A and B are shown apart, each in its own frame.
Chain A
Amino acid sequence: MSFTVRPPIRTDKIQEIITTVERYNPQNIPVLEAYLKEQCNSFSEHSNDPAANLALLKLYQFNPELLNIDAIGSILIKALTNLPGNDFILCLYLLSEQIISDESIVKILELKDLLETARFDAFWDILSNDSITKEITGAVKGFDDSIRSMIAKNISVTHQSATSEFLQLALNLDESDLSDFAKQQGWTINEETGIVTLPLIKDNEAKAVVISEQIPFVQLTKILASSSEL
């Protein structure tokens, strides 16, 4: 997700707020908060507008008395679904020591660390057993599914094949769900060996590339000019 492309969900009003000096007007906090709710309630790939959410965090940074910790939580949860992109860390830089020691935020940071250190089974474990975590992530629609597809992406660039036990744990799916999911992703499961084969893409081929130098002609004009003087 890019910051510069306007997502279809963004209205003209929001566009105006985040591209003009209106972004410093604290009266826009409720507007952006409502927009955040809308993003959380509609689940699709294009329902995330990190630029607008950063603008909201910026307003909180300037007006700490208007800060809404639940909204910050939602923004971070939204950003989690976009890992390994850099939205999450960009949000963090706008927070403060006090905010990140808040109980709910600490939980989210924990989830982020588990995802980023690829401890997926521990991640799902906390998600299904910890009540506070359940509550915060529940506010974002389709959270589980977007995390699952994110993990699947990570696996598919790393693996050519993997055991189905590993995939079940990493994706938090049981056997029948996994076979549905595998069909969706174009993975093939070998029933006998339990090995799942993933389609080859550029990133999981392990092919050596020869990097060759590209010199544009204009860079050589000087040497050519000097040779003509001879």
Chain B
Amino acid sequence: MYQDNFEDELTGYINVDVVADSYAAMDEYVDGEVAKELEEMKKQQKQQRYEKAQEQLQEGVEQIPAQVRDFIHLEERIMSFDNYCDLFNHILNSEKPVELELPNKWLWDIIDEFIYQFQSFCTYRSNLSKKAADTIEVLKNNTAVWNTHSVLNVLYSLVAKSKICEQLQASVNGQDPTVAAGEYGNCSLYKMLGYFSLVGLLRVHCMMGDYTLALQSLENIELGNHRALFTRVPACHVTLYYYVGFSYLMMRRYSDATRIFANILTFILRTRQYQTRSFQFDIVNKKADQMYALMAICLALSPTRVDEQIHSHLREKYGEQQSRMQRGGDDSLATFQELFLYACPKFISPNPPNYDAYLSSLSSSTANPNPTTSTSTSTSTSNPDTSNPNSNANQTFNRFELQEFQMKIFMHEVSLQLIVPTLRSFLRLYTSMKLDKLASFLDISPAELHTQLLVFKQRASQLKWSGGPNLLDGLPSSIGDLGFAIDNDVVYIAENKVGRKYADWFIRNSAKIGDLVKNLESNYLLPSSTA
């Protein structure tokens, strides 16, 4: 069932099919079209039933009070953390490499779940409202549990122990990675844990808003390489691309983000049939859907051509939103926001909230005949003690705060970029134009148009990755298919054109001639030779 192929890693080329084959092998893929279709139908029915049940469950859940709704008790979270600590201590602190061989999928799940629980604990602890005072006491006394430093420590230690960075570096330089790996790094357990920890670091940094560090964690991991280790586990593959793409989007490198999303989405499309039977199928699908949303944002901000298949899927899913985003105005900002909130990762704060401040506000509000937690939230947000940001006392108790902060920064960037699509649609109609005439078409003053054109040029310059081991690298290049220049009071415009596509023509005609030859051979040549 589970199949590994370690010896071929990081060498040579490979295409989608090889990876797809390995998926198929993993999942006991049954051949035969009819059987498959039946399967598919059954699956869809099951999926529909499941979705319906989920919906009902969701409705039911919303009626349950929040205290009861915290399915996972705090004690369980703490115990889970202790379990993880035991496991990682056992692995990291043994004198000799632990002799344990585990499937890659499991190893990925260990790291993935570890980070997921960390993130869900952070969300849990920062949502103090509606929590009983004794729960908060327990939280206060257990600050070491799911502490950001210990989580990072685990990931960094796994990376260091496995010497995975050195191994990757060596293979990039064409040296033998096993030499660099050392005693621990040569065990697949350590190696893979170290490797997945790098992806884990990408995710943790991203959740804390540090996109630079996030991309830096992936140094020497070659994204284009279809034989790289991350392709072994579909969920890891998708997670990696999702966070890389999201980081690029937040860094204002829209063309890089588009490239990353298009890459993985094509891959998901092409391997879809192999993935339906994987238990990670739902996760992959959900992430893919989020990535289509992010890609719609990228394309609205920085229009470029993408693969046709991806484009049609995108139009199917988010066509309406796309046209709304491109139209400009408040309506489009609302759409950006909606898509962003749907598709962004959960952000976390590295520090626990100020429990004492909340407890005291809780006790003061119980003295109040109308104890509402919402007052404490609203007063602390509407009246921040700006003169003294060093104190934590005015920290809000709102779990959406971080989400909102990252979104606010991003949306501000979007609002600056928003003039670009409108201006672009006008500019591409002309090859030269008086400034004041164009301004009157756009219904703005010539001075305003002039500043908009300057902004357009500013925004067109983006860093663009151009190979190399580090994802942060990039050359400043001007993005977009439109060039223009102002000559005093005239603007000259030139639109880039796409040349003829030969490859497609070549492939189609090769296939055609192949068919023709086959046809000829079977119909004319073969009978005569047998006769």
Chain A interface residues toward B at CB < 8 A: 2-4, 21, 24, 51, 54, 58, 61-62, 64-65, 67, 69, 83-86, 89-90, 92-94, 96-99, 101-103, 113, 116-119, 154-155, 157-163, 166, 195, 203-213, 215, 218-220, 222-223, 226-227, 230
Contacts and interface: CB of A to CB of B under 8 A. Distances in A.
Nearest to B459: A84
Contact of A97 (B405, B473, B488): B405
A208 B510 contact: no
Q: Size class of B's contact patch?
A: 35 or more
Given A155-B454, A208-B496, A211-B499, A86 B463 contact: yes
A221 B308 CA distance: 22
18 contacts: A4-B473, A61-B210, A61-B350, A69-B389, A84-B461, A85-B476, A86-B251, A86-B253, A89-B250, A90-B211, A90-B212, A93-B210, A118-B451, A159-B485, A161-B486, A163-B488, A205-B485, A223-B510
B453 interface: yes
Contact of B497 (A24, A96, A211): A211
B405 A89 contact: no
B109 interface: no
Contacts of A93: 209-211, 250, 406, 409
Given A118-B454, A210-B496, A92 B487 contact: no
B501 interface: yes
Nearest to A193: B488
Nearest to B469: A4
Determine the main DSSP class of B at the interface with A: mixed
A69 B391 CA distance: 12
Contacts of A62: 148-149, 350-351
Contact of A118 (B387, B455, B473, B496): B455
Given A54-B210, A64-B392, A67-B389, A206 B483 contact: yes
Nearest to A162: B488
Contact of B396 (A83, A89, A97, A166): A97
Contacts of B176: none
A212 B351 CA distance: 51
A21 B458 contact: no
B498 A210 contact: yes
B78 to A, nearest CB: 22
Interface in B486-531: 486-488, 492-503, 506-507, 510-511, 514, 517-518, 521
Contact of B470 (A4, A84, A86, A117): A4
B410 to A, nearest CB: 9
B472 interface: yes
Contacts of B498: 210-212
Interface string B460-491: 01010000001011101010010111111000
B436 interface: no
A24 B149 contact: yes
B9 interface: no
B483 A208 contact: yes
